[in-house]
Amino acid sequence: MTAAAALPMNGAMTPVFFYHLERQPLESVLPKLLNTSLERGWRVVVQTGSEERSEAIAAQLWAHDEDSFLPHGTKADGFPDLQPIWITAVEENPNNANIRFFVDGAPVGDIAGLTRAVILFDGNDSEAVEAARAGWKRFKSAGHEVSYWQQDEQGRWQNRAAAGN
């Protein structure tokens, strides 16, 4: 993760949400967050750690729920500007996304201009937890509003810590 202290177009710092995955894997959590983002009218980029992982997540989204569909694409599909959800392994925003999800330890680059940046990390991976802690400190010290989300026993997401400007 790299610090990004630039101001978004609206003059405010991009809020950064940290999701600590302990009770459910990424494959269960990400589709719900993507669906919520689309319901809010946002366009999305999901940045992964590798092209192979991008394709695996794309394939998983096709099969995640037979009663719903999350419109998405990857480099292999092309036409990024037409995709409400773009899945990539590189820092790009070809679909003019409002929100960016960073998964699998993907490096956090420039987040200026986003409505929100979301970092999902595996609570069972000590390196991922340490990277998230370092990211929290870095973004907080740069002036971003940061929040830490963790699931309770019923599976509901709770904001366990928030630090504003």
Q: Dump pLDDT digits (tens) for 53-90.
A: 999 999 999 877 767 789 999 999 989 999 999 999 99
Helix (H, G, I), strand (E, B) or coil at 84: coil
Would the pLDDT of 6 be above 80? Answer: no
Q: What is the pLDDT of residue 155?
A: 81
User: Residue 73 has what DSSP assignment?
Assistant: E
User: Could you tell me where the DSSP H helices lie in 72-125?
Assistant: none
pTM: 0.89
Q: What is the pLDDT of residue 84?
A: 97
Q: Which residue has the higher pLDDT, 153 or 106?
A: 106
Contact status, residue 89 vs residue 50, Cβ threshold 8 Å: yes
